[in-house]
A and B are shown apart, each in its own frame.
Chain A
């Protein structure tokens, strides 16, 4: 991320280079000096650090629940330890595997159809010449991001539901009804379409920032050599923003199983658990609704471990392909 921000904003002051520690000075003074020099940047990082400490690292301690028969008002100290029995139960639980299956199907659909969508939209936006027009279109496509899932899903239901607008027209025309909402076969495409409608515009931001960094001279040179729109895209634009694409892809893979909660929570009932139950709703229903916090935490932990393995593997693959990835070990 740092790379991107620096690249995009170009604000990072070259202090490190100009104030090299004096020769002979110990590493201690050097570090102190560097801290002093970078104090503004370091201070800026504090809120973010605190956020991660409290809400991510702090929350990690909650994973002990996975090994307990946790009863909320007895707390961790008062609840019974049960070892790995939650995990044993999990691997033998068909409802769990059903949730895994549904999550994988939707995650795969999201990866194939949602991931490239913002890139395509960003390229399209980038090609709009008029500045005013581009800003206007940009603002419009950002808007759905600020609608809550409740509203987005209500909109889709009002449009596509059995009593919705589209079916209203169809019945006025005397045509048959289309069944989308509540049809298990249409569920996967429906949720991905909702995601694209809501988040595609917002997700273009990083791509647009990367696109603005592409050297204009390369386009001109390519154009002079007779490269058309397609060749310029293939040989100039895409190679230039490849690091960003790979970075986002690695991050996305790390969150492969985190396909979202609200969207699925709100629609699970319309298709039933056979199609609609995903890991996040499974955790919610067993933990919060069912009070089985320990088991739910075990499922959550399992999902977290898979996420770590995925991000590690994806990063390694990125290195093999000669990319920077998310981090260099």
Chain B
């Protein structure tokens, strides 16, 4: 397979971003615009396409069932018999280009990559993937959208607020309403198996559906804890605020720390999620009586900021938490330097467990406050969109998505997640056992898991005890959890200023937590946020919320 698109695309983007930085004093206009009205992204007063029908897949029987609060079905063992969910040919042998984010190293070329070859064979396409490393994702996407031409067939968006992304999608990407809206989605049974909360989390644009969500379970950014260290210090699983602060002090000392943050958490609400949820602050917004009020103006939230300040003051936080990268902080957690970190729930995964390598028992921390409101996630990691094309082509791309979204317990899931039996994994009585080749050939380095994702289940091959602990944690904390009422709703201010507004919150939390400003300065942060666009965003969301009722 020739990589020319890949290379050219990357070169172009690299060139443009280099130019961007070099020419920062005179930001340059690149690419002539495609014209076309941006229109509004709002759904208020628009005709709304119905959400795709939900037809759940009758999968293998779990060891413990999931429930409607977001508790995932638990599988301690891998199912013995697998079903086949895709019977028709997916592709037509043509070339399909895709742009996705990656958290892993780049994949080996297809000629030396059995995993890639098998995916191509199963999909019957020549899949060419341009991977964008996570830290550069925002900037690369901004430049891609600015260039506006030579777009790949599949463009994947994460939940990161990218300026003007919704307008870009409306102008350049295919309207999927007629293909997946309402009962039409039944053409693609694996897409019909995606729960409605994921579609709602993605939201409509201007009343229409433009993407397919990559489902994620409802727990948001969670507290990962070193249970072994906690047990040694006699720290209980359920704790009060005082007990929590005391526990962090217990775990600190001798060049070890109770917890570690990392710099990307300070781009918005990330670093405070666990504390805000523990202390009962609403999840991002409250929508009562048609009014939208942001969580940062609640006393509970201010208390959470204060808790973070106390943690730093007591020297229980890793001292360089504002500068350390997420990967470095994860390593500090894996090797026991810090006893807890906040991380996305998606890190409850075999990769994390293999890095911990049995040094300690992994668990998740329960919320500490008496009236906890743990925050639910957006219900999705991101979504995929398709470049505008003829209906036949769009159907082909949807079939690719459908294949890669096949649920746990199917042959398609096995290929997309574990690779080829005997090559990338073997099966024994403990379940799936990855081979050494899986370290380099997997769906992280060739991120097909971001082109289509199955609704997640709780199955950790080789670690049934951890899976059980996580299940118990979900049972204990999710019933109290709350969703963000603003999720999936559109606000023009959020589109144009969301990143800037997030930055104000993140900078404010960091300044107070690390003692550069007193707690009394929090109200100034709130005022600044409201004046920069927060108030306008609240009004827009309220209008949108009313229309969606």
Contacts and interface: CB of A to CB of B under 8 A. Distances in A.
Interface of A: 55, 59-65, 70-79, 157, 161-164, 167-168, 171, 181-182, 184, 258, 261-262, 267, 269-274, 280, 283-293, 296-297, 300-301, 303-304, 307
Contacts of A270: 322-323
Interface of B: 19-36, 38, 138-139, 142, 145-146, 148, 162-164, 167-168, 171-172, 255, 257, 263, 266, 318-320, 322-323, 496-497, 499-500, 503, 507, 510-511, 514, 516
Contacts of A181: 320, 323
Q: Tell me the interface secondary structure of chain A in the complex.
A: helix
Given A182-B323, A269-B323, A291-B142, 5 more contacts: A59-B28, A71-B38, A72-B146, A76-B33, A157-B323
Contacts of A272: 507, 510-511, 516
Given A157-B323, A303-B25, A286 B33 contact: no
Given A280-B24, A292-B496, A161 B142 contact: no
Given A157-B320, A286-B500, A184 B255 contact: no
A75 B34 CA distance: 7
Given A289-B503, A291-B142, A74 B28 contact: no
A61 B322 CA distance: 38
B172 A73 contact: yes
Nearest to B511: A272
Contacts of B34: 73-75
A75 B31 contact: yes
A289 B496 contact: no
Contact of B33 (A74, A157, A167): A74
A286 B497 CA distance: 9
Nearest to A258: B25
Contacts of A71: 38, 164, 167
Nearest to B325: A154
A168 B256 CA distance: 12
Contacts of A274: 511, 516
A203 B280 CA distance: 56
A74 B20 CA distance: 18
Query: Top 5 closest A-B pairs, CB basis?
Result: A291-B163, A75-B33, A162-B319, A72-B146, A62-B28
Contacts of B25: 258, 280, 283, 300-301, 303-304, 307
B29 A76 contact: yes
Contacts of B171: 73
18 contacts: A59-B26, A62-B23, A62-B26, A64-B29, A73-B172, A74-B34, A76-B32, A167-B319, A181-B320, A182-B322, A182-B323, A269-B510, A283-B27, A284-B21, A289-B139, A291-B496, A296-B27, A300-B26
A300 B148 contact: no
Contacts of B172: 73
Contacts of B263: 269
A55 B22 CA distance: 9
A73 B500 contact: no
A74 B38 contact: yes
A109 B164 CA distance: 38
B313 to A, nearest CB: 13
B26 A63 contact: yes
Contact of B29 (A70, A280, A296, A307): A70
Contacts, number: 161
A163 B516 contact: no
Contacts of A161: 319-320, 323
Given A62-B27, A269-B322, A283-B27, A73 B510 contact: no
Contacts of B145: 72-73
A127 B23 CA distance: 40
B255 A60 contact: no
A63 B34 CA distance: 20
A73 B503 contact: no
Contacts of A300: 24-27
Contacts of B507: 272-273
A284 B25 CA distance: 9
Contacts of A280: 24-25
B138 A78 contact: no
A272 B512 CA distance: 10
B307 to A, nearest CB: 19
B499 A163 contact: no
B322 to A, nearest CB: 5
Contact of A291 (B164, B255, B266, B510): B164
A250 to B, nearest CB: 19
A289 B497 contact: no
Q: Which of A62, A64, A283 has the most CB of B within 10 A?
A: A62
A159 to B, nearest CB: 12
Contacts of B319: 161-163, 167, 182
Q: Which of B26, B27, B36, B322 has the most CB of A within 10 A?
A: B27
A290 B26 contact: no
Given A55-B22, A62-B23, A300-B25, A289 B138 contact: yes
Contacts of B163: 289-292
A57 to B, nearest CB: 11
Q: Which of A63, A64, A71, A168 has the most CB of B within 10 A?
A: A71
A304 B320 contact: no
Q: Which of A73, A293, A307 has the most CB of B within 10 A?
A: A73
Q: Which of A72, A167, A184, A286 has the most CB of B within 10 A?
A: A72
Nearest to A77: B33
B262 to A, nearest CB: 10
Nearest to A94: B528
A267 B511 CA distance: 14
A287 B27 contact: yes
A261 B516 contact: no
Contacts of B142: 72, 288-289, 291
A77 B26 CA distance: 18
A55 B23 contact: yes
B379 to A, nearest CB: 25
B502 to A, nearest CB: 9
Contact of B24 (A157, A273, A283): A283
A43 to B, nearest CB: 25
Contacts of A290: 163, 497, 499-500, 503
A163 B319 CA distance: 6
A65 B146 CA distance: 13
B513 to A, nearest CB: 11
A79 B320 CA distance: 43
B392 to A, nearest CB: 26
